[in-house]
Amino acid sequence: PLGFFDPFGLLSGDATEERFERLRYVEIKHGRICMLAFLGQITTRAGIHLPGSINYAGDSFDSYPNGVAAVFGENHIPTAGIVQIISTIGILECAFMREVPGFAEFPGDFRNGYIDFGWDDFDEETKLQKRAIELNNGRAAMMGILALM
């Protein structure tokens, strides 16, 4: 494990516990998003696409390019599609992917007292190990998705 990782010195001036937990929360959240993005990239680059049409004109999902070209390229996704994607992300951010005060066991804990897939059954050492694995995999995915883009 990488342990404490602050290459840009973001905590050098204001190293309070609250600031550290906020930065850790953001790092975990971005790591989770990048893990999904990396999986999506390698899936579509392998030629696996959703069936059907992406719009009423009959364009198929595989008719659009991968990566940044899907947004900024010559044959990019229509503006209405990008607005739908950004709106969905906004709804997820505001309604679901947030920490409710008093429920979070650690930064990035979105269970909020509702979801438990056996996390509470683990001992503290196993929980710490699994959180470190998620953190390091998220860091690797952030670098990986940047490399693919």
Residue positions forming the annotated binding site: 27, 30, 32, 93, 134, 137, 139
Q: Could you read off the pLDDT of 1-41 as tens digits, one per residue? A: 566 777 777 778 777 888 888 888 889 999 999 999 999 98
Residue positions forming the annotated binding site for chlorophyll b: 32, 93
**110 pLDDT above the threshold of 80:** no
Residue positions forming the annotated binding site for chlorophyll a: 27, 30, 134, 137, 139
- Residue 1 confidence (pLDDT): 54
Q: Average pLDDT, whole number, for the chain?
A: 85
Phi, psi of 89 (to 5 degrees): -60, -40
Beta bridge partners of 60: 53
**113 pLDDT above the threshold of 70:** no
Domain boundaries, the chain: 17-148
User: What is the pTM (predicted TM-score) of this model?
Assistant: 0.78
The three-point CA angle 71-76-80 to 5° equals 80
pLDDT band at 70, cuts 50/70/90? confident
Give domain 17-148's CATH architecture. Answer: Orthogonal Bundle (1.10)
> Strand, coil or helix: what is 53?
strand
Percent of the chain with pLDDT over 70: 96
